[in-house]
């Protein structure tokens, strides 16, 4: 079982009115990641974030848990949500869902923090079809609303990459747009990540969503010119770098400094 540790709290930059409304004890919160509320009516963006990645396996769960722990340093009710999870162990558990629950400090029914749990580790639209199920975005948005009513903050971890198919006609991007939350992008630093990161940023912005920040996760220790790639992303993504995680196989995450805003 991984051990998650909160980062030093960040300084909020919400307007004072919004800050008092949603973050009554906000002097040391990370609400700065959300920015001023911009709600499309479906959800309350001032206290939720959608975490996505340039691909599957780039560290979205790590980022989501780190964000939850940082929020818990200032707020009593923080919940992680994995709307769609594909792949379970012999006991019917999904590793990502369990990690998010361990990082949360409010227990909720599984139908709320993980509305869609699929047994096979496949693309969600394929796993759902093979299980005879459908993934309904409206139902997920309702579950998020229930969580938001019970929490000061909700961190939503998407499945796979931003455009992962959820059905023949809908993707993870459609879910993110329906939720209307600011997005945090986890970039797995490896060959090809520049293209993946810029395409994902464009897809986020094309849906009217705000890229609240990004995290560099050095998942390939053999990647050449890592610093040059990181510098390019700093210049091009147009959002703050929240963390730069080194390659540390098998290391507990308590030694990592998470969710750092640039100076």
Residue 91, pLDDT score: 96
Checking if the pLDDT of 249 tops 70, the result is yes
Model confidence over 127-147: pLDDT tens digits? Answer: 999 999 999 999 999 999 999
Confidence of residue 84 (pLDDT cuts 50, 70, 90): very high
Checking if the pLDDT of 206 tops 90, the result is yes
- Is the residue at 157 inside a domain? yes
Residue 259, pLDDT score: 55
Q: Total domain count for the chain?
A: 1
- Is the residue at 20 inside a domain? no
- Is the residue at 211 inside a domain? yes
- Is the residue at 76 inside a domain? yes
199-216 burial, b at 16+ Cβ within 10 Å, e below that, comes to ebbebbeeeebbbbbbbb
Among 36, 43, 31, CA closest to 179 = 43
Residue 209, pLDDT score: 97
- Is the residue at 200 inside a domain? yes
Residue 12, pLDDT score: 33
Model confidence over 27-55: pLDDT tens digits? Answer: 223 333 333 333 334 455 448 999 999 99
| Contact (Cβ atoms closer than 8 angstroms) between residue 100 and residue 80 | yes
Residue 33, pLDDT score: 36
Checking if the pLDDT of 161 tops 50, the result is yes
Confidence of residue 63 (pLDDT cuts 50, 70, 90): confident
Does 138 participate in catalysis according to the annotation? Answer: no
- Burial, 30: exposed, middle or buried (Cβ in 10 Å; 0-12, 13-18, 19+)? buried
The number of helix segments (H) and strand segments (E) in the chain equals 9, 8
Checking if the pLDDT of 263 tops 80, the result is no
Residue 207, pLDDT score: 97
Checking if the pLDDT of 221 tops 80, the result is yes
**Distance from CA of residue 263 to its chain's centroid?**
23
Sign of the dihedral defined by the CA atoms of residues 10, 103, 159, 157, in that order? negative
- Is the residue at 212 inside a domain? yes
Residue 61: count of CB within 10 angstroms of its CB: 24
Range of the domain at 64: 40-252
Catalytic: which of 38, 60, 82, 138? 82
Q: How far apart are CA 87 and CA 96, in angstroms?
A: 10
Total residue count of the chain as it appears in this document: 263
For the chain, the average pLDDT equals: 82
CATH at residue 133: 3.40.50.300
- Is the residue at 5 inside a domain? no
Q: How far apart are CA 145 and CA 136, in angstroms?
A: 15
Q: How far apart are CA 154 and CA 149, in angstroms?
A: 10
Angle between helices 226-236 and 193-206 (to 10 degrees): 20
Q: How far apart are CA 118 and CA 239, in angstroms?
A: 33
- Is the residue at 222 inside a domain? yes
């Amino acid at each position: 079982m991984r051990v998650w540790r909160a980062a030093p709290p960040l300084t909020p930059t919400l307007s004072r009115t919004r800050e008092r409304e949603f973050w009554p004890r906000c002097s040391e919160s990370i609400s700065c990641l959300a920015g001023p509320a911009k709600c499309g009516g479906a959800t309350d963006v001032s206290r939720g974030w959608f975490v996505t990645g340039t691909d599957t396996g780039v560290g979205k769960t790590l980022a989501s848990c780190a964000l939850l722990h940082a929020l818990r340093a200032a707020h009593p009710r923080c919940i992680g949500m994995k709307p769609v999870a594909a792949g379970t162990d012999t006991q019917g558990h999904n590793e990502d869902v369990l990690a998010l629950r361990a990082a949360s400090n409010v227990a909720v029914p599984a139908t709320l923090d993980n509305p869609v749990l699929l047994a096979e580790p496949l693309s969600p639209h394929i796993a759902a079809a093979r299980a005879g199920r459908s993934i309904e975005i409206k139902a997920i948005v309702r579950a998020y609303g229930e969580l938001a009513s019970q929490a000061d903050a909700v961190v939503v971890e998407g499945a796979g990459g931003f455009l992962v198919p959820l059905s023949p006609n809908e993707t993870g991007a459609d879910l993110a747009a329906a939720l209307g939350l600011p997005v945090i992008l986890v970039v797995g630093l490896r060959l090809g990540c520049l293209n993946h990161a810029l395409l994902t940023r464009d897809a986020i912005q094309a849906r009217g969503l705000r890229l609240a920040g990004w995290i560099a996760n050095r998942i390939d220790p053999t990647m050449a010119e890592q610093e040059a790639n990181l510098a390019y992303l700093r210049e091009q993504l147009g959002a703050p770098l929240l963390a730069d995680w080194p390659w540390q196989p098998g290391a507990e995450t308590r030694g990592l400094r998470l969710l750092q805003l640039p100076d």
